[in-house]
Structure 1
Amino acid sequence: MNERLHSVLAQRGLSPESLAELCEVDPKTVSRWLGGRVPHPRHRFRAAQHLRVEELFLWPAPTPASAPNAGQPGVGSGLELVGTYQNRASVPRDMWLSLLKGAQEQIDVLVFSGTFFAQSNPHVAKMLAERATDGVQVRLCFGDSNGQAAAIRGREEGIGDTLAAKIRASLTYYRPLLSETGCEVRLHDTTLYTSLFRYDDDLLVNPHVWGQPASANPLLHLKRVDAAGWFDNYAQSFEAVWATARPWTPDQEGPSSHGQD
């Protein structure tokens, strides 16, 4: 069974019949693809194009047993790349929602302000609380509005104290989560090279380009393949930042020295 094809279809909200129509093949043909059969090259290309994923992710090239480095950790890590987006703003809203709803074990978010995360989904706090009730570990890590890292980033983007204000505004959405078991919110004061959004074995990586807002920067969709690939490197960076971040205590936060409340 091609579990990756099953997973991507579910995330995109497409039925096998819809994919068959897009690829101009019989629905039974797509059923055979789902069962493990490898499509003709032209159909592989069209399916991957319509699903907005890398073809090799859906149908990895077999690695000959005698090939150099075969079986060594890290080889083939590029297969973790499910898809790319020119900028974060172009990621479909339905994809954010489906990944959040589908998480079964953990949801990790690392951002400075992440205002879009709540503004594009006004029910995000309620949905996160529901996932936590179902046993999902929810960890949200925002920038410290009083920290030096946020101040420097604001200057680099040319928005000054606005970033600190955006952080405080964004955090107001998540106050209800502080009393929920399984939910934690922390503040970091680190240089943020990449925003991260993890949903179990799916990871959305939003690298930062100097001087540009995160929404205008590229986004990579990774799927965990092994313990020595890109996914785990980024996941470990989240853990490193999380370990140094402090718990968010809104009632004890003083006024920001970098912007108005």
Structure 2
Amino acid sequence: MSDNLRYALIRAHLRPVDIAAELGVDPKTVDRWLKGRIPYPRHRWAIAELLNLDEGELWPDTVPRRQGVSNEILAVYPHRWAVPHAVWQDLFESATEEIGILAYSSLFLAEDAGLIRRIAERARNGVRVRILLGDPESQEVAARGSDERIGGHTIAAKIRNAITLFQPLRGLPGAELRFHRTVLYNSIYRADDELLVNAHVYGVPAADAPVVHLRANGDQGSVPVYLTSFERTWDIAEPGT
């Protein structure tokens, strides 16, 4: 619950619908902010200006820590398989603007029919869904298979299976799949300003590698770095057929 924001609205004699109208967002989005979800930086700045307050007065957690320790980090998991299923569910269900997946195959996710249904539901509700998978014919995919010690043919087969399992999403408005030929040092699973970042470690399958759960708290943290990487990969990727 964001009591700071709630009390600030009361003092300013403003209702959540007033904020929604001023910022051009859905009133449900403002309700999520009041329940504790931290808005995008541009929305935080607009609200703070509207209420004539400092951003830190409304969202103290967005103020950088002087010790240099990032307060973007929500959790760190030693392995991808250790991430609770509920975390994946909550991540995608929370999306109001965009879902992004950047990986080689992401087969573990594609095989989860429940998660696919949740992502499809968000797409039908206007959330943009972008999926970036490795080109199964690329040298980069073959190299990653060798790095994981499972062979290039194996990871290419996983990608082809994932493509089939992602099919229910590809016919939805706002959902798109592309293939990349880049060397990935991590996989990125995005829902708006939250990320699950799965490191790629030489000689270790992605499922056994660590995952960091991040939430953006400004333009200077690590989340914008990952999002920039996603956008650059998207721009040079080939549309799926």
What TM-score, normalized by structure 1, do the two folds share? 0.66
Aligned positions of 1:191-202 closer than 5 A: 191-202=183-194
Aligned positions of 1:12-161 closer than 5 A: 76=68, 78-119=70-111, 121-160=112-151, 161=153
Q: Percent identity?
A: 40
Distance, in Å, in 1 between the alignment partners of 2:100 and 2:224 is: 13
**SS of equivalent residue, structure 1 residue 123:** helix
Go from structure 1 to structure 2 and tell me whether the alpha carbon gap of 1:59 and 1:86 turns closer, same or farther (over 3 Å shift): farther
Aligned counterpart for 2:235 among listed residues 240, 243, 248: 243
Equivalent residue for 1:252? none
> Considering only CA atoms, is the larger Rg found in Structure 1 or Structure 2?
1
Aligned counterpart for 2:196 among listed residues 199, 204, 226: 204
* Unaligned ranges ≥5, structure 1: 4-33, 36-57, 65-69, 250-261
**2:236 partner amino acid:** T
Go from structure 1 to structure 2 and tell me whether the alpha carbon gap of 1:60 and 1:134 turns closer, same or farther (over 3 Å shift): closer
* Unaligned ranges ≥5, structure 2: 4-34, 37-58
**1:184 partner amino acid:** E
What is the alpha-carbon root mean square deviation over aligned residues? 2.5
**2:107 partner amino acid:** T
Equivalent residue for 1:232? 224
Distance, in Å, in 2 between the alignment partners of 1:127 and 1:61 is: 29
**2:178 partner amino acid:** R
**SS of equivalent residue, structure 2 residue 113:** coil
Go from structure 1 to structure 2 and tell me whether the alpha carbon gap of 1:227 and 1:178 turns closer, same or farther (over 3 Å shift): same
How far has the Cα of 1:211 moved from its partner? Answer: 1.5
Go from structure 1 to structure 2 and tell me whether the alpha carbon gap of 1:230 and 1:77 turns closer, same or farther (over 3 Å shift): farther
How far has the Cα of 1:204 moved from its partner? Answer: 0.7
Aligned positions of 1:147-226 closer than 5 A: 147-160=138-151, 161-226=153-218
How far has the Cα of 1:159 moved from its partner? Answer: 1.3
